[in-house]
Amino acid sequence: MKDHSELSAIFNADEQRVNWHDETLWWIRQKRDKAVKTLPEWELLRENASQIKQHTLSNLSAYLEQFEAKALANGVKVHWAANAAEHNEIVLSILKRNGINRMVKSKSMLTEECHLNTFLENNGIEVIDSDLGERIVQLAKEPPSHIVLPCIHKKKEEIGELFHEHLGTPVGEADPQVLTEAARQDLRNVFLTRRAALTGVNFAVAETGEMVICTNEGNADMGAHLADVHIASMGIEKLVPQRRHLGVFLRLLARSATGQPITTYSSHLRTPRSGQQMHIILVDNGRSQQLGRESFRNSLKCIRCGACMNTCPVYRKSGGHSYQYTISGPIGSILAPNLDMKKHADLPFASTLCGSCTNVCPVKIDIHNQLYQWRQELVSAGYVDAKKKWGMKAMSFLFAHPSLFSWAGKVGRRLMTAAPYLFNNKLNPWYNQREMPSAAKQSFREWYKQRAKNES
Amino acid sequence: MKVNMVTSRERILKAVKANQPNFVSFADINIPQSTEDLPNKFALALRNVGGNFVELDHLQEVENYINENFKQGGRVLSSIPELLKFNGLDVIDTDPHSLANVELAVLRADIAVAENGACWLPEVNTLQRVLPFIAQHLILLVSIKAFVPTMHQAYEIIGRDAYGYGVFIAGPSKTADIEQSLVLGAHGPRSMTVCLVNEWAT
Q: Which amino acid is at A386?
A: A
> Which of A33-37, A437-441, A445-449 ranks highest by mean pLDDT?
A33-37
Instruction: Evaluate if residue A194 carries a pLDDT over 90.
Output: yes
Mean local confidence (pLDDT), A312-316? 98
Per-residue buried b or exposed e for A258-292, using 16+ beta carbons within 10 Å of the residue's own CB: bbbbbbbbbbbbbbbbeebbbbbbbbbbbbbebbe
Give the single-character DSSP code of A169.
P
User: Sorting pLDDT into bands at 50, 70 and 90, what band is B202?
Assistant: low
Higher-confidence residue of B84 and B173: namely: B173
Axis crossing angle, helix A176-193 with helix A219-226, rounded to the nearest 10: 20
Nearest beta carbon to residue A216 from set B29, B181, B186: B186
Any idea what DSSP says for residue B113? E
In this model, does residue A9 exceed pLDDT 70?
Answer: yes
CATH superfamily of A31-288: NagB/RpiA/CoA transferase-like (3.40.50.10420)
Average confidence score pLDDT of chain A: 95
Is there a contact between B129 and B123 (Cβ–Cβ < 8 Å)? yes
Q: Which of residues 410-439 of A touch B (CB under 8 A)?
A: none
Q: Give yes or no for residue B2 having a pLDDT over 50.
A: no
Q: Is pLDDT at B4 greater than 80 in this prediction? A: no
For residue range A221-252, list pLDDT tens digits in order: 999 999 999 999 999 999 999 999 999 999 99
Would you say residue A440 has pLDDT above 90?
A: no
Q: Chain A interface, mutation test: which of B23, B110, B187, most A Cβ atoms within 10 Å?
A: B187
The string of pLDDT tens digits covering residues A41-94 is: 999 999 999 999 999 999 999 999 999 999 999 999 999 999 999 999 999 999
Least confident of A226-240, A323-337, B72-86, B169-183: B72-86
Position B1 scores a pLDDT of 43
Superfamily of the domain at B34-197: NagB/RpiA/CoA transferase-like (3.40.50.10420)
Is any Cβ of chain B less than 8 angstroms from the Cβ of A182? no
Show Cβ contacts of residue A83 under 8 Å, excluding neighbours closer than 6 positions.
A284, A285, A286
Q: How far is B163 from chain A (nearest CA, A)?
A: 7
pTM higher than the cut 0.90: yes
CA-to-CA distance for B106 and B97, rounded, in angstroms? Answer: 18
- DSSP H or E stretch at residue A62: helix A60-73
**What is the rounded distance in angstroms from the CA atom of residue A285 to the CA atom of residue A308?**
23
Residue A422: CB atoms within 10 Å? 12
pLDDT at A392: 83
Q: Where are the domains of chain A?
A: 31-288, 401-455
Q: Indicate the residue of A45, A132, A208 with minimum beta-carbon distance to B177.
A: A132
Query: What is the helix (H) or strand (E) element at residue B121, kind and residue range?
Result: strand B118-122
pLDDT > 70: percent of chain A = 100
Helix ranges (H only) for A98-206 are 109-113, 116-122, 132-139, 156-167, 176-193
Chain B residues 5-64 with a CB less than 8 Å from chain A: 7-9, 11-13, 15-29, 31, 45, 48-49
Give the integer Cα–Cα distance in Å for A367 and A229.
38
In the predicted structure, residue B189 carries a pLDDT above the cut 60 = yes
